[in-house]
Amino acid sequence: MPLHATTPRRTPLTALLIALLAGTAPAVAETRTPDSTDEPAAGERSIVEPPWVIAHRGASAYRPEHTLPAYGLAVRQRADFIEPDLVPTSDGHLVARHENELSDTTDVADRPEFADRETTKTIDGNEVTGWFSEDFTLEEIKTLRAVERIPDIRPGNTKYDGRYEVATFEEVLDLREKYLGKGIDVQVMPELKHPGYFDSIGLDTEEMMAAALEERGLTGTGEDAPVFVQSFEPASLRELNGLVEAPLVQLISTDQRELTTPEGLDGIAAYAEAIGPDLSLVLPIGEDGLPAEPTPLVADAHDRELLVTPWTLRSENAFLPDGYTKGDDPTRFGDYKSYYTAVLETGADGFFADSPDHLYKTRAKFLKERDK
């Protein structure tokens, strides 16, 4: 049974961490600039080897996010994990969308039969107008079609607009089983979106998650667990700690810096196996557009037997730090290889990436140079 929320979780994963961390604590990694030709510095080492490639919403640089083709492409690009965000329908099904507001990622606003569903809600303190997953049955959701969320940055993805259905969590797990049958062991890292809000309207997404994992027998623990479950909300993860054996990941935004303190990390270690911080909390960017010194967050988390999976790497100029852009076109790929190398040197254990192929190839070169 899951351990009580006030007791540090001891799984095969944490046992591995204890063994690996029993030696001398490594130093903080140095940072490379885009012009550096030196070998990677010997610094904080990731516990997971090789550090994971986590396909953020699938291969979302190449297909509309959170669609089965985006997840499938990510697997073919050798991602270790695919990462679906999950929201509920009115009849209690989890579906893969970035937010419960649907108009940014589907054609719902162009569907006259659903015009009267447009409404305004307050979600986690923010007023949002649109169409919401919790106001649709699964049957209705399945009539919608996905569209590219950021067409100005990823115009190539718009050619897929209207082709793909909204995927259910069950279909994401089916996709994993399909690739398992082909000898490809990909893992899944779902995020429950706004679970406190959904609790307030009678939709318990933690129970939905627990039921889905139990039905599939996906309750394994340890580094090779088939599913790691994420949330930004500590209360949600504490509830999940009492419902599932799967490893849990505490996501951390820049508005949750209190969770990165020693006291905050101690608290997280009582109910989770990993943290997923905003990348800037691990590797800040200086005024020159290049990385500053890494923070101690990775080492501090490792000291508490917590894995670290920062988010999110994106290769387009629009998202790269200024020191890594190439030209003025925001849609073009910049010097992502140098930036990803600097990020890998932090010693974190996995990284979210919209272009899993870019991270996979950069990781391979980084590890080859590091281990010479």
- Are the C-beta atoms of 205 and 90 separated by less than 8 Å? no
Query: From the CB of residue 141, how many other CB atoms can be counted at a distance below 10 Å?
Result: 23
Residue 332, pLDDT > 90, answer yes
pLDDT in tens, 78-133: 999 999 999 999 999 999 999 999 999 999 999 999 999 999 999 999 999 999 99
Mean pLDDT, the chain, whole residue set: 90
- For 56-70, what is the mean pLDDT? 98
CA torsion sign for 57, 309, 170, 179 is positive
Is residue 24 over pLDDT 50? no
For position 9, what pLDDT does the model report? Answer: 54
What is the per-residue pLDDT for 17? 46
Query: Worst-scoring range by mean pLDDT, 22-26, 55-59, 311-315?
Result: 22-26
Write down all domains in the chain, each with its CATH number in brackets.
12-97+167-370 (3.20.20.190)
Q: Which helix (H) or strand (E) holds 130?
A: strand 126-130
Whole-angstrom distance, CA of residue 167 vs CA of residue 147: 13
Residue 13's pLDDT is: 53
Q: SS3 string of 336-369?
A: HHHHHHHHHCCCCCEEEECCHHHHHHHHHHHHHH
| The pLDDT value given to residue 219 | 78
